[in-house]
Amino acid sequence: MLYNIAIDITNHCNFDCIHCLRDKVAPRAHMSPDLLDLVLREMSSVGMMNVCLTGGEPALHPELNRVCDLLVDYGVRFSLVSNGFLFEDKILPLFDSKVRRHLDGVCFSLDGATSASHDMIRKEGSFDRVISSIEACVKEKIPVSVKSIVHSENRKDIVEVAHLCASIGAGSLGYVLLTPTPRLVSSNLLPTAEEYSEVIRQITGRIMPSFLLNISIEGFAHPDYRVPLCNPANGISFDHLGNFIFCCNLSHPTNGDSPNVFGREYLGNIREIGIEEGILRHYRTLAWFMDKVMRSDLKKDWPVNCTKCFRLFGKMKWMEADESADNRYR
């Protein structure tokens, strides 16, 4: 059952993270309020009333106040994903009582328990900013969730990340297993399958039973469970241009120094096909995707199941020309 919509309201970002999946070659642009109005009108017409605003970094959208007004006008429940760097300056002041009635929460990126481990893959000074943003939300009783990237340099600090999240008032924590990118591979920050297996054992065996936080592992599916109930099974995704994209992670992924080219993940544009046709195309692609995954060797790309998806959609071809790419990820 599709019950939510992820909307990239911009592909601008104030960070240049080593692990980022997004295409950095494509022109930068923001979703216009008129286009967002169309998306919200179409989704409301079929009873879909839950939105997650993503990017890029939503704080960089020049008309974010208008974005909030439209969400309120359509009575939509929404959450927002942010790196936290500009959150207190650009986003929090927009959360007045009217907007707060529609806000489900904010998700922040926190990739380590110290500034050294977090800032090394994001931006100098970003650790202090995101901690401050989380604390500001907790003070205002805005629900907070955290996504934490696990890479080769911080994988031994995952317990400390859970302690930090619990101590500052986060309600949930999702550890994210990484999909290979050119910069990750060349920087030797991508853990091996064996290292990720140990991370999974530690999270499931030690961390989850020890914390009241709602803790999950993203980018991972147990190989004994053959049906892929990941993002596309629960919702649809729009990029900043109004294109239906099968999964938010497949929205303009990096292709190294070359621009991303649309493939099967592109389902059409909202202006041309409307929401109902878009949903039909999504379900048809979901059926194809599930059939491919369920018929495959689920342990081949284990434990990072998003890697299998990227292969299916032809998004790992940069490895064919990247001599630095480790053979274990081919």
What is the block-wise mean pLDDT of the chain (330 residues), using blocks of 10 residues? Answer: 92 93 89 98 96 97 98 98 98 98 98 95 96 98 98 95 98 94 89 91 96 92 76 94 95 84 96 98 95 78 73 82 49
Contact predicate 60/12, CB 8 Å: yes
What does the pLDDT read at residue 330? Answer: 44
What does the pLDDT read at residue 322? Answer: 53
What does the pLDDT read at residue 270? Answer: 98
Q: Which residue has the tokens 């960089």?
A: 60
Tokens coding 88: 């207190």
SS percent in the chain: helix, strand, coil, step 5: 45, 20, 40
Which residues, at least 6 apart from 184, have a Cβ–Cβ distance to it below 8 Å? 18, 19, 151, 178, 190
For residue 207, give the DSSP letter.
Answer: I
What does the pLDDT read at residue 328? Answer: 47
What does the pLDDT read at residue 329? Answer: 47
Distances in Å between the Cα of 326 and the Cα atoms of 12, 56, 306 are 30, 28, 17
Find the distance separating the first CA and the last CA of the chain, reported in whole Å: 33
Q: Any alpha helices (H) in the chain, and if so which ranges?
A: 33-45, 64-73, 97-100, 115-119, 126-139, 158-168, 182-186, 193-202, 208-210, 231-234, 270-294, 305-312
Give the number of C-alpha atoms closer than 13 A to the C-alpha of residue 165, restricted to the C-beta side: 30
What does the pLDDT read at residue 317? Answer: 81
Contact predicate 299/223, CB 8 Å: yes
> What is the spatial distance between Cα 285 and Cα 232, in angstroms, rounded to a whole number?
9
For residue 317, give the DSSP letter.
Answer: G
Task: Tell me which long-range contacts 228-231 makes (C-beta under 8 A, separation of at least 24).
Answer: 228/289, 228/290, 228/293, 228/294, 228/305, 228/309, 230/305, 230/306, 230/309, 231/6
Distances in Å between the Cα of 295 and the Cα atoms of 174, 175, 228, 300, 322 are 28, 27, 12, 12, 29
Model pTM score = 0.93
What does the pLDDT read at residue 320? Answer: 65
Which of 240, 237, 230, 313 shows the shortest CA–CA distance to 279? 237
Tokens coding 227: 């049906």
Domains and CATH numbers, the chain: 4-329 (3.20.20.70)
Contact predicate 316/310, CB 8 Å: yes
Contact predicate 305/285, CB 8 Å: no
> What is the spatial distance between Cα 100 and Cα 214, in angstroms, rounded to a whole number?
23
What does the pLDDT read at residue 301? Answer: 57
